[in-house]
Structure 1
Amino acid sequence: MTKRQLAHLACAAAVVASGVGAAAPSAAHRSVHLVRAGESIQKAVDAAKPGDTVVVSPGTYHESVRITVSGLTLRGSGARNTVIVPGTTTAADACAGAGNGVCVTGTGGIPVRNVTVAALTLRGFTKQGLWATGTDRLTVRAVTTEQNGQWGLATERSTRTRIVGNTARNNGDAGVFLSNTVTAEEGALDTDGAVVSRNLLSGNRIGITVRRLRNLTVGHNDATGNCSAINIVGDENKPRVGAVTVRQNHIHANNKFCPKTARLPFLQGSGIVLTGAEDIHVTRNRIEDNVGTSPLSGGIVLFKSFVGALNEHNDVRDNILRRNGPADLANRDTGQGNTFRGNSCKVSVPAGLC
């Protein structure tokens, strides 16, 4: 028998027969907890120790799940097969009480580290499909988050996050939302290299929102059918949002209409929007057929923050832009040091940026 086969057998032997009991430890003292249809995911998570994996069998689970243990993996049986929807809320269930599906939460100022959530669907929660706060090295992979009231996948106060290969569709606000904090006015947080990559974003108000963060990459995503595809949002706080790379995304036909809010005008036909940002590198994206009449409409748009912060020293280069309206490139800001070079496009405001 090969080493790979022996390893597979060792892992399989560790799976428990019920949803709450811990398996006999493997050689690495890590256990796998199996949750069958009709059992509680939360009970399995509560029984898990750092390094354990909770495997959720096919089925629809009516509950919310709160993870506070570092090193835990929560893995479904594929987004089509394992579905988590709202259940009955109890007073002790803070995650469900806040209207969220899965919560990954650091406590007492100590981040929860190296958590992975993968291969399941989060649907129909009044707030977030997945909410993470106070995390380090969180990975969200192959998750579908849909029809949630606010954000599909959302993080705050988190570093080195990886949101890779997910589908976020028809959520009330952003499909993917990353922020320094949602409860206070603070300067931008350095994410130490967070990555948002290879996600499919459709039918949301905004595909991806990056708010008050620094040092991350948004790349290789596909965004269509949203009101706006990618928004990099800053304000007057210091340090400013910046050092973000937005590259090799396919952004097409984001022409859904969304009415104005207290923070933004109505949205329609926006590809990539920068407001109040510095040192953003927007490069090698393909941006097509995004058309609208909002102040933020167009292929790539630089717009002064609604609290007056300017875009400065941003680099927009080597992008392919086609049939965006009213312009492929639009600099509607008065900030200094923004450069446009090597872009393939036809219409710009002001003229001469193509």
Structure 2
Amino acid sequence: MTQRRNHLKTPYVLTTALTTALIAGLAAAPAPAFAAPRSHTVRPGASIQAAVDAASPGDTVVLTRGTYRESVLITKALTLRGAGPQTVLAPAQTRSRAVHSCAKAGNGICVTGTEGAALTGVSVRSLTLRGFRVNGLWASRTDRLSVRGVRAEENGVWGIAQQRSTRSSLRGNTVRENGDAGIFVANAVDAEGGATDTGGTVIADNRATGNRIGVTVRRVRNLSVRGNVVTGNCAGMFIVGDESRPAAGAMTVRDNTVDRNNAFCPATARLPVLQGSGIVLTGSEATVIRGNRIRDNAGTGPMSGGVVLFKSFVGAANTDNVVERNDVRGNSRADLVDGGGGTGNRFTGNDCSTSQPAGLC
């Protein structure tokens, strides 16, 4: 028995000794060096792009108050943070031969990934984008983009816009007097195709005023539009689809204030006259419009009214949408308009006075 116990004890002693030596060796080895995120401060007159190019992933580029006459291209994960509305990016007064693609396209800030690798983890916050020929902020092929406290105003097309992107958070921004939509989220602007899944993009707590359309979501699914104040535009919100599959929709539009969107916008090649539209659905499915305040949107156009289901211009009907528990009053042509010709749409529990056809209130 003694011999057996010794035989069993020997491997244990050896293993313990080896383990102790290994631990001691690891403790003595130097820890791997990881570069801590750094902050790069830029002041008016210096180049934001130079600071962005010099930054490492995870760094923060801080802009002090003042006006910066340039466009910025972001292709790495970093934070670009201003000091509030007094930090202003505006178009360059003279065109440089070395200008990058974002400036050439007429945009203020561009956040761009690639077809094979979405750019993840960019944050843009607390600054103003004013007067760019096309878009204030343009994002393409991104994931988890965060845009907060940005003021995008007087830009030629869109204030804050993105395509081919997932899990974005667009919160607490002000978009005003942009040529088309204040906030625009789409599957793709350069190709046709069915709606894409945004992975839960959130458009929340923004203020949109003086735009052609306050908020447009086009050919996308799985997102939330909530808590926004949308007023003084030609149209409040557009939920846009077409005949492609999968159809646009499967989203929630809730707890928004959409009132007095009564500016007049003439017809374009894509859309008729816009005036007095609250929330318009064209070619959407399984979208929930719930708990919104939609008041005093008045016009005589084909899309005028509080909540309007409108058959898309390529013939796609609205199906299986739910319009419930909204405060919808003082709108014309009517508070609720079901003109889409689709099936399965439900109007329940709304506080409203008029509808087309009658009986929806």
TM-score scaled by structure 1?
A: 0.91
Residue 89 of structure 1 aligns with an amino acid whose one-letter code is R
Work out the CA distance in 2 between the residues paired with 1:36 and 1:63.
13
Q: Is 1:89 aligned with 2:95?
A: yes
Quote the residue 1:310 is aligned against.
Answer: 317
Matched, 1:299 2:306: yes
Aligned pair partner of 1:235 in 237, 242, 263: 242
SS of 1:336's equivalent in the other structure is coil
Deviations 1:254-278 (A, max 9, x none): 0000011111100000000000000
Measure how far apart 1:108 and its partner are: 4.6
Deviation at 1:56, TM superposition (A): 0.2
- Aligned: 1:222 with 2:229: yes
CA distance in 1, matches of 2:314, 2:189: 17
Q: Tell me what 2:82 maps to.
A: 76
In the other structure, the counterpart of 1:348 is: 355
Partner residue, 1:330: 337
User: What is the alpha-carbon distance in structure 1 between the residues aligned to residue 263 and residue 215 of structure 2?
Assistant: 15
* CA displacement at 1:242 relative to structure 2: 1.1
Name the count of aligned residue pairs. 327
Q: Find the aligned partners of 1:178 and 1:251 in 2 and give their Cα distance.
A: 18
Q: Kindly provide the CA deviation profile for residues 53-89 of structure 1, in whole angstroms up to 9, marking residues without a partner as x.
A: 000011100000000002x00000001x100000033
Hey, what does 1:158 align to over in structure 2? 165
Identity percentage over the alignment?
Answer: 59
Alignment correspondent of 2:51: 44
Match of 1:170 in 2: 177
**Higher helix residue share:** 2
d(CA) in 2 for partners of 1:303 and 1:344? Answer: 21
**1:132-281 equivalences in 2 (<5 Å):** 132-281=139-288
Q: Over alpha carbons, which structure has the higher Rg?
A: 2
Which ranges in structure 2 are unaligned for 5 or more consecutive residues? Answer: 1-32
In structure 1, distance between residues paired with 2:232 and 2:75: 35
Task: State the partner residue of 2:65.
Answer: 58
Q: The residue matched to 1:143 in structure 2 has which SS? A: strand
Q: Could you tell me whether the CA contact under 8 Å between 2:115 and 2:141 is conserved in 1?
A: no
Report the Cα distance in structure 2 between the residues aligned to 1:311 and 1:352, rounded to whole angstroms: 19
Q: Could you tell me how far apart the structure 2 residues matched to 1:208 and 1:192 are?
A: 19
Distance in 2 separating the partners of 1:94 and 1:200: 29
For 1:37 and 1:262, the matched residues in 2 are separated by: 41
Work out the CA distance in 1 between the residues paired with 2:308 and 2:131: 32
In terms of mean alpha carbon deviation, does 296-305 or 27-36 score higher? 27-36
Task: Give 4+ residue runs of structure 1 displaced > 2 Å after superposition.
Answer: 88-92
TM-score using structure 2 length: 0.89
Match in the other structure for 2:16:
none
Aligned partners of 2:101 and 2:333: how far apart in 1?
A: 45
Q: CA RMSD in A?
A: 1.1
What's the offset of the Cα at 1:90?
A: 3.3
Secondary structure at 2:184 match in 1:
strand
Displacement of 1:27: 8.1
